[in-house]
Structure 1
């Protein structure tokens, strides 16, 4: 039966069989005791306690489909333990395409820190069994040897997660408490699963995860962004089919039932949340903040770190703090976790060490002052608009590589007199036109400038961890953060009041309103959340172009993205078309 979501027929593609992965180890149930000190290989971290490794445990979903998981749990059966679920299609236990070796320097996480039994982006069983937890590495529906077809998030995946939570809670070693932990897909899925409210789900720890796939990943601002998801889909294995999100956005880029299903109903989440976010991801920043902000639970915490999600996940202090949270809500320990500040935000200084865990009373930050800076024809940003109308222009259809060196990018600069923090969402309000086409894609970005006028880059992984000097770091998004970005297709300029928030206008993606060539239209473009520190004499740069200025996620993706632009874009400034930038400032 063809897959259908609401009124929309879903396009699917066949998956390559698991045997094509060189780390595939067949599907058969087995139980092994890994003794304390056991190492997968000489480079790996040892297990710190005797651990039962149960491979290919089957779970039955409500429609009769069977999926598989590997379970690691303390060998001491005297005490029942909570289950920490790692949920994704990337492979159960150290197999699959994705691993830290894909990134130079392994994002500062040496092989000796991990056991090699960890699922990609998930807690390490050797670490967590010693802390008194079971780690459950799930191959989700349709992946590897799990039956069915692979869902890419949505309500259906949330229901699958519900079923696994409830079956886990009934296992004899489990204390009937289940939690989810992990990055990326493992974080995204938590918003959907928690929204289904499985009774034995006690808390979630989404360590960076988008919560609206359409608006945040594949069609930001109504601009289809296909390269990364196409790459991601090519790395999956299974015995059936998977949703083809790229074909779906190519078939119809408008918001419909299918894409609406991929916005998590976080307002239905009622369990404690320990949400982690960063600025360094081009995928999860906005969704992490949205999930935290919109979830109505009273027991929620937000920590914004200064590095990169995989690096942060495996730090000792991260594990220690995560255990405090989990101990409180899966074991009922009275450990004063509730005294942890509700909002801690790291602020990047780029040319100095970041400010870590700055405590704020809430998010968004209550004392924020929004300041407007007006674009001027001399490439400056000023506090007052130019009186005369004029325009500046760029060619919109040049090739681009996303290496921070592409041509045809307008640059407007502002110098701060005093020290200040820019924390939150900025917004660009631009009056623009194009003579050659009836639609156009616009990209904006903020950058930091030092006192000498140098445009700075933030190195995400400390060199003491990566062993790589800053000048030698590969310029990819996981390793280098440039600044927050925003996108908008002009035909989607109409606002959507229901999903818009302060300084981040969202738009009506259900229809397009084409632009008569040469007509000046107002574009309200929100930029993702950021935290940037400026000293007196340092500067801010606003960049505008017809192409993405964020670094590519992987080197192989450079030059693979495209925009539907033609001709020259004109940015109108001054007079009745005074384009401006709104920035959220917090005094130091």
Structure 2
């Protein structure tokens, strides 16, 4: 067995702000009666619920983790039910913590939409127990009272959760069927667990999640942007032992290697039925969710692309009911019509209050979406349907205002873009051996004003302050992409005509005067343009959108000299867009 390439650092006890009513170590079983409230601001239980606290589960390597199980009354006298697993490192008792309540406040959700018994980003036992499901909330390896050293998003977690799935399936209250659900970290865990193929896992519900730690979290576009990784590492994984030091690993493993390969699930082994939920607006999770959706081997998979943010979407009562229809059909075998649900339900953003949601399709991109080239014209700073004959440079000096160049086009007829955009650019660095490029597709109104839309119910003055620059998951401003040019080498196996993928296994600096062509993947989009509205394409040396959440250190591109974008002639740079419809 090869030596563990991971680096570890000391963990620390759970801080008060992350502590909830159910955090203390209290093994045993009790019944929470209908009407029970864990705290006054939370929803009361609609039914009696049996709570098993701090159940020990021993994993295959001898490490013991602790799990809280909520199950319907009746299971203590012989009734059997399926169970939903919520796997994450955030603490199984943190639903009533100041931290979780603060997140609900940030996005504009009242705490009363949940019971406080749920883990952060996880299914609420109050709802699911009332509908004949148990919910298992584990403290994963190395977290709070669980033994071992914690790890971040890798195949070790898949093996651990495999063992938990099989333990739960064997309990006398369980009917042998186990499902998984949850957003963000809980979604990522589902990719890894399903790829391990535990025999009793029958369905997953990943609701927006990274599927490649290198490409999505720590080195998007080959740039060492570790602001959120630092928050994740330092703001979670609290326990008694050690936790993985992903920040150190970025320094010691700068290229994609064995360590990072272990943090990509084996998509071809994900075969269970899957209800995947995605958005266009999550700059952490969007690329990974669509990647996993495309590559998983499941024959029965459904995709819903919403138009908000993952937490309001996950706890929306209509979406909870929609998820129950999926689980009832796939897990319980209920003939409820779920099998007639379209394989894809996508949204088309208007950014002015006219979004379309739940548009049915057989695939994503939907049939009829045509990858169409819009060529950059450096002379007119426009996007044109044919490549300009004349070669013209568009350039900017790094650190000088403006540190960007942009190109626009106006739509004369209603046009819908739905699918995967990419940029194919001919670039040159003068006075430097590398370039960090940031690109953005932005919608403008007929007067040229940039359009954006909040993704959460909170539209307060404070949320304006937070999202003027940064907090990208709270306000959608367009589809972005990025690439360090020395990391431009494409992976021929993973790349498609619509979605370029880079190997990130080599560094190819630029020589003086060298012009190279690069392909940059942008986040998938669904965007409608009314007659007269415009699209702007921006290329910059600066991070155009800022960080995904408030309070995170922003990455600054490693740039110097002058960036040159070549257009027209033999170096016809273009933006490729998925044009679905254009009608007069």
Superposition pairs of residues 69-88 of structure 1, within 5 angstroms: 69-77=67-75, 79-88=79-88
Equivalent-residue separation in structure 1 for 2:373 and 2:28 (angstroms): 63
What is the distance in 2 between the residues matched to 1:485 and 1:51?
Answer: 45
1:408 corresponding residue in structure 2: 403
Q: In the alignment, what sits opposite 1:455?
A: 450
Corresponding position: 1:570 with 2:571: no
Report the counterpart of residue 176 of structure 2 in structure 1. 176
The DSSP-based 3-state class of the residue aligned with 1:556 is coil
Q: CA deviation at 1:100?
A: 4.9
Per the TM alignment, residue 352 of structure 1 is displaced from its structure 2 partner at its CA by: 2.2
Counterpart in 1 of 2:479?
484
Q: Does 1:235 align with 2:227?
A: no
Whether the aligned pair in 1 keeps the contact of 2:546 and 2:554 (CA below 8 Å) is no
Q: Is the partner of 1:228 in helix, strand or coil?
A: helix
TM, length-normalised to structure 2: 0.94
The match for 2:226 is 226
What residue is the counterpart of 1:313 in the other structure?
A: 314
What residue in structure 2 maps to residue 206 of structure 1? Answer: 206
Cα displacement (A) at 1:574: 1.6
Contact 2:421 2:521 in 1 (8 A): yes
Is the CA contact (8 Å cut-off) linking 2:192 and 2:266 kept in structure 1?
yes
Q: In the TM superposition, what whole-angstrom CA distance separates every residue of 1:305-348 from its partner, at most 9, and x where no partner exists?
A: 01000110000111101001111122121222110011010111
Partner residue, 1:580: 574
- The runs of 5 or more residues in structure 1 that have no matched partner are 399-405
CA distance in 1, matches of 2:434, 2:139: 42
Aligned to 1:380: 382
Deviation for aligned residue 1:466: 3.2
For residue 186 of structure 1, give the secondary structure of its aligned residue in structure 2: helix
What is the aligned partner in structure 1 of residue 393 from structure 2? 391
* CA offsets 1:65-114 (integer angstroms, 9 cap, x no match): 000111111112253111111000001022567525236x4423211111
Distance in 1 (alpha carbons) for counterparts of 2:424 and 2:98: 42
Distance change in 2, residues 1:252/1:371 (3 Å): same
Classify the secondary structure of the residue corresponding to 2:570.
helix
The 10-residue stretch of structure 1 (546-555 or 113-122) with the greater mean CA deviation from structure 2:
546-555
Structure 1 pair 275/473, CA: closer, same or farther in 2 (3 Å)?
farther
Question: Once structures 1 and 2 are overlaid, which stretch shifts more, 11-20 or 113-122?
Answer: 11-20
Equivalent in the alignment of 2:458: 466
Deviation at 1:469, TM superposition (A): 7.4
CA displacement, residues 384-424 of structure 1 (integer Å, 9 cap, x when unaligned): 222222212223357xxxxxxx9523221111111121111
CA distance in 1, matches of 2:423, 2:12: 44
Matches of 1:513 and 1:12 in 2, distance apart?
A: 30
Return the alpha-carbon distance in structure 2 between the equivalents of residues 98 and 264 of structure 1. 30
Aligned-residue Cα RMSD (Å) equals 1.9
Shift of 1:551: 3.6
- Between the aligned partners of 2:578 and 2:15, the Cα distance in structure 1 is 52
Matched, 1:503 2:498: yes
Q: Partner of 2:87: helix, strand, or coil? A: strand
Work out whether residues 207 and 277 of structure 2, in 8 Å CA contact, stay in contact via their aligned partners in 1: yes
Q: Does 1:45 align with 2:43?
A: yes
Query: What residue is the counterpart of 2:543 in the other structure?
Result: 548
Equivalences for residues 241-280 of structure 1 within 5 A = 241-280=242-281
Name the SS for the 1:410 alignment partner.
strand
1:13 equivalent to 2:13? Answer no
Instruction: Name the count of aligned residue pairs.
Output: 572
Specify the SS of the correspondent of 1:547. Answer: coil
Q: Structure 1 length normalisation: TM-score?
A: 0.93
Bigger mean CA offset, 21-30 vs 72-81: 21-30
